[in-house]
Amino acid sequence: MQVSRRDFLKAAGAGTAGAIVFPSILDGELKAFAREPVKSKPIVWDRVFNHACGVCDSVCGTTVYVKDGRIKWIEGNPGDSLGGWGKACVKGSSAMRHVYDPDRLKWPLKRTNPRKGKDEDPGWVKISWEEAFATIAQKFNESIEQYGPQSIVLLTRPKEADTRLQKAIGTPNFTNHVDTCFITPQLAWMSMTGKGRPWCVDLPNARYILSFGWDMPGKSKLCYLQPFFAAKNNGAKVVVFDPRMSMTAAKADEWIAIKPGTDLAVVLAMIDVIIGENLYDKDYVENYTTGLDKLAEHVKQYTPEWAAQVSGVPASDIVRIAREFSNTKPAVIPTHKRDAGGPNYANSFHLALAEIALSALVGSIEQRGGIFWSRQPKARSVDEFAPVKFPEMKEKRRIDGVHLFPLATKVRQGNFSDFADGLCTAIEKGDPYPVKVALVNKYNILSFPNPDHVVEALCKLDFLAVVDILPAETAQLADILLPDVHFLEKEGAEIRSYQALWPQVEMRDGIGTLWDEKGWGSIVNGILEAMGKAEFKVDWKGLEEARLEDIGISMDYLRSHNGIWEDKKEPKGNLTFNTPSKKIEFYSSMLEKEGYEPLPTWHDKLAHPSEEYPFYLLITRNAWSRHGKLGNDPILMEIQPSNFLHIHPDAAARLGLEEGGCAFVTSRTGNTLKMPVHITRSVRPDCVATEHGYGHWSKELRYAVGCGTNEGDLIPDMTIEEHLSKKSHDPAMSACCSDVCVSVRKA
Amino acid sequence: MVNKRNTSCIFEPGTARAVVYRFLARCFSYPDGQLLSLFDDARIEEFLQSWHLLGMDKEEAIPEASRWLIESCEPETALLELEKEYTRLFIAAYPQKVVAPPYSSVYLGSGRQVWGASTAQVARLYEAAGLGMNQSFHDVPDHIAAELEFMSYLILEQQGHNDNETGRAREMASIEKKFLTEHLCKWAPLFFDQVAEHSRSDFYRSIARLARKFTDHEILLAPASGGFK
């Protein structure tokens, strides 16, 4: 507020009985300081507190040391027996550098440059939260009035606050990362067990671990890494099928360099062997499964000899491993996200089905040493806590076409792979209806297939609001940019889901916000309030307290119990399933009902080496990276400043590539990336591999920008039509994130 | 702490230093109406008299910065330009990085981080002077605007006591000396140079040069005067 000199003089003159008082630079209160303790924010100089790491969903319990007002050290909390087991990984212990990164988003920002693009300076100016919320609400409300609620796109996470916002607005366009991460196994488990995807593996008690590309130990996901090594120490045998020697493969008893995307053939043949030789667990199969006869008949076509031809794995090995797997108890197939049974290939859905069938045959589901669903304590839902009537969602069609896939619709989750295509069509042609505005919560464009298409689509929007921690790529295209709270600043409680073999709650104590950031829940409330939809707001802190009360604990309890509550007991198998038969269905009645093949069936992957693109592309993630989130850490980037093109010596010799030289890599997206070459026998001669997490172009990321390339540029995104063409065998609309071949030439 | 005083009161070296520190503190805060009002006739006059009183050379910087403000455009446009440049320099920059993070630890510590050892050092001095960080400040304690404001506070606190023998004044003087010589002078010149070199706006360039000149002057006087008293 500007006080003009004249006004000031007038006011001053009135109060001082005629004495002329000039305005002074020294007028006014101190801005940065408060003399009264009640108005000041106290600094805690020395403190040790328990916290739950938030870098990845392993959510390891940690102990955080604050000295001289700053976090100086983070280590594992020994009280956490499900996540880190008393350890912190390289990512978790690096988080203290991220919270103090001066490039972080600190206040809401507004764009002043109307032009958008990768090379446009947004021309940020700082604004207040009030202005930020008011602007977003105005854009949203205008869009609703003119085009309906479906014209608002939410690109946010499949979590409570996000769902609340979606339902309050009434838009079907709630899009998230599940098709590039886990919808494939999610739907496969639903089809065969009627339940969602289980996230727990009782590895320490397993005697035989069979991995089809599963590499969690190599990703330093401690909740899987720790029990994996415990299993090894207990003498478990580990067999890994992977075209690349992953970290897990390097620690395995046996590494089988299978041809990419053919794991399905091997699993089908193993099923054939196990049923044919009567090696399955009779009690388990009889009591807890149905449809064995149909499965047995169906897999007769998938002989080990046939599978050997498809996969390149000798038939004798397939038979031997099938026998070992069924004779060594407990045996388990751990799976996670981007493995062969994840959304990597066009046949991943059937691989996921086949893996479940194989697990059920040896009795490895909900049995000691096997796979378990998360044991979460009973606590109220957000709708129980804050019941409200949501408006009817009139428009069911979505711009990413999920409504055309009945099973994908069931899990009500969106799609990254055809998002750009759907958004461009909606914006340009108004088909199926116009879309004008969007809100993105911490999704980086670099995580999408063919990210340039997403950039193009987002630039076409009238208005884009983005929430993030760092000014990363998506943020560069925002009109309003909102700062989220870093997990080390947060206070709260976290109910474990990954590896929750028994119920566990971890506390976050936090250091408080360094600047003026807000958490996602508060941001959602702020938007709802400004939109005139205050009735949908939720007291998130109150909800958390109520949940702890439901469990019978409180923040004070957690604080005085090393930050962790566990109801530690070995899980008892819960062998009731939610299928119509209440059993695991080898022959899925749900798939049959929806018109899909009810049994795991061989389908080929999409892309095979051709003259034009002679190499399979394999994608991996470093142990010290978490998607693109940690790229702005100078120390982590120093470990490996660029991704490499990992190539077999024979292929390298043929192409004239040398170690330390560079190569151009091209795919059918038309994009070409230049990568430094690393020659290694850890990949098959018909494959090349590279690491994700590089290729940042946001010029506001000081350390990450310009380091390496993003392999997503080589992965084609999809159209709804392409999804429809594989609809018959892939009800999950998986993104096929590694189903592409590339050409390589010397640079 | 409202200080309404007749201009004649300025002619006291302590007040003059406080005026310059406070002026600079406001210039390195997020630009708003209060920043523009620093450049009205009375306050500019107050600043120039203070500057002169401190024995500084006739300085071109202030007229240059204020001329830019007055001549360039309408107040709203001027403010927007300042906001953009302030954000670019100190909050979120394009391209590459925040141009000149306004935090001491970025210059004095290793690894370009906020809340370093130097942050703790100043925050402890604030506490010693009886101040806490304002809840509405939403920033790290060693932000340049806070540090410059702190100097003005310390100086004025000593002035409040005509009898310099009082314990309070002595205490403030000792904190001031420690703060200035062991902390502010160690990084502020580096920061001001960074701003002067990289700013695209005449305003921040000239203010940064002025600030650099002033801190050089302060460093020069610091040991000789035994704590400015």
* pLDDT > 50? residue A9: no
For B175-205, what is each residue's pLDDT tens digit?
999 999 999 999 999 999 999 999 998 899 9
Whether residue A176 is found in the same domain as residue A208 = no
Structural domain range at position B108? 7-225
Give the integer Cα–Cα distance in Å for A58 and A83. 6
Q: ipTM, 2 decimals?
A: 0.87
This prediction has a pTM of: 0.91
Lowest mean pLDDT among A495-509, A672-686, A694-708, B138-152: A694-708
Q: Report CB contact under 8 Å: B87, A24.
A: no
Q: What is the pLDDT of residue B161?
A: 57
Which of A19, A20, A516 is opposite residue B138, by nearest beta carbon?
Answer: A516
- What values do phi and psi take at A465, rounded to 5? -110, 140
Judge if A319 and A221 occupy the same domain.
Answer: yes
Q: Are residue A703 and residue A737 in the same domain, yes or no?
A: yes
Give, in degrees to the nearest 5, the angle at Cα B199 between B123 and B134.
Answer: 25
Token reading at A272: 């054939």
Closest-CA residue of A relative to B27 is A25
Give the gap in angstroms from C-alpha A690 to the nearest C-alpha of chain B. Answer: 26
**A268, A367: one domain:** yes
In a domain, B2, yes or no: no
Answer yes or no: is B1 within a domain. no
Least Cα distance to A451 among A480, A434, A431, A476 occurs for A476
More confident residue, B159 or B158: B158
Q: Is A81 inside a domain boundary?
A: no
Q: Are A420 and A426 in contact (CB under 8 A)?
A: no
Cβ atoms A197, A183 nearer than 8 A: no
Are B137 and A27 inside 8 Å of each other by CB?
Answer: no
pLDDT at B227 over 50: no
Give which of B152, B150, B118 is closest to B131, Cα–Cα: B150
Quote the pLDDT of residue B96: 57
A457 and A586 together in one domain: no
What is the SS3 assignment for A690? strand
Has residue B24 been placed in a domain?
yes
Torsion of CA A351, A357, A362, A363, to 10 degrees: 120
B79-83: Cβ within 8 A, 24+ apart: B79/B31, B79/B32, B79/B33, B79/B35, B79/B36, B80/A112, B80/A125, B81/B201, B82/B31, B82/B35, B82/B201, B82/B203, B83/A125, B83/A126, B83/B30, B83/B31
Mean pLDDT of chain A, nearest integer: 93
Residues A222 and A352 in one domain: yes
Q: Lowest mean pLDDT of A15-29, A202-216, A424-438, A665-679, name the range.
A: A15-29
A582 and A625 in one domain? no
The pLDDT score that the predictor gives to residue A13 is 37
CB contact under 8 A, B133 and A43: yes
pLDDT for residue A443 is more than 80: yes
Reported as a single tens digit per residue, the pLDDT across A289-344 is 999 999 999 999 999 999 999 999 999 999 999 999 999 999 999 999 989 998 99
Q: How confident is the model at residue A10 (pLDDT cuts 50, 70, 90)?
A: very low
Top pLDDT among A684 and B33 is at A684
A235-255 residue pLDDT tens: 999 999 999 999 999 999 999
User: For residue A321, what are its two tokens?
Assistant: 């491993």
pLDDT in tens, A91-145: 999 999 999 998 899 999 999 999 999 999 999 999 999 999 999 999 999 999 9
pLDDT of A36 higher than 50: yes
Residue B140 has pLDDT above 60, yes or no: yes
Same domain, A205 and A159: no
Using CA atoms, how far apart are residues A98 and A420, in angstroms rounded to an integer? 30
What pLDDT is stored for residue B164 in this prediction? Answer: 53
Judge whether A56 lies within some domain: no
Does A118 fall in a domain?
A: no
**Is B76 contained in some domain?**
yes
Question: Who contacts A53 (Cβ-Cβ below 8 Å, separation ≥6)?
Answer: A59, A60, A61, A62, A74, A83, A84, A88, A92, A95, A487
CATH of the domain at A422: 3.40.50.740
Residue B170 domain-assigned?
yes
pLDDT, residue B226, reads 43
Q: How confident is the model at residue A194 (pLDDT cuts 50, 70, 90)?
A: very high
Q: Which of A24, A131, A473, A702 to mutate to test the interface with B (most CBs of B within 10 A)?
A: A24
pLDDT, tens only, A145-183: 999 999 999 999 889 999 999 999 999 999 888 888 888
CATH number, position B45: 1.10.3480.10
Domain CATH code at residue A354: 3.40.228.10
Residue B46 included in any domain: yes
Residue range of the domain that includes A528: 124-180+384-399+410-480+519-537
pLDDT of residue B229: 38
- Look at residue A365 and give its three-state secondary structure: strand
Please count the residue pairs, one from chain A and one from chain B, whose beta carbons lie less than 8 angstroms apart: 212
Task: Judge: B33–A2 Cβ closer than 8 Å, yes or no.
Answer: yes
Same domain for A237 and A348?
Answer: yes
**What's the pLDDT tens digit per position in A72-97?**
999 999 999 999 999 999 999 999 99
pLDDT band per the 50, 70, 90 thresholds, residue A734: confident
Check CB contact under 8 Å for B146 and A33: yes
Domain annotation covers residue A559: no
Name the percent of chain A lying above pLDDT 90: 85
Number of structural domains chain A divides into: 4
Average pLDDT of span A616-629: 89
Q: What is the pLDDT of residue B220?
A: 83
Tally of domains within chain B: 1
Q: How far is B116 from chain A (nearest CA, A)?
A: 7
Residue B104 lies in a domain: yes
Query: Do A298 and A389 fall into the same domain?
Result: no
Please say if the pLDDT value at position A6 is more than 50.
no
Are A219 and A352 members of one domain? yes
- The answer to whether the Cβ–Cβ distance between A700 and B95 falls below 8 Å is yes
For the segment A452-473, the average pLDDT, to the nearest whole number, is: 95
**Mean pLDDT value across residues A369-397:** 95
Closest CB from A40, A112, A513 relative to B133: A40
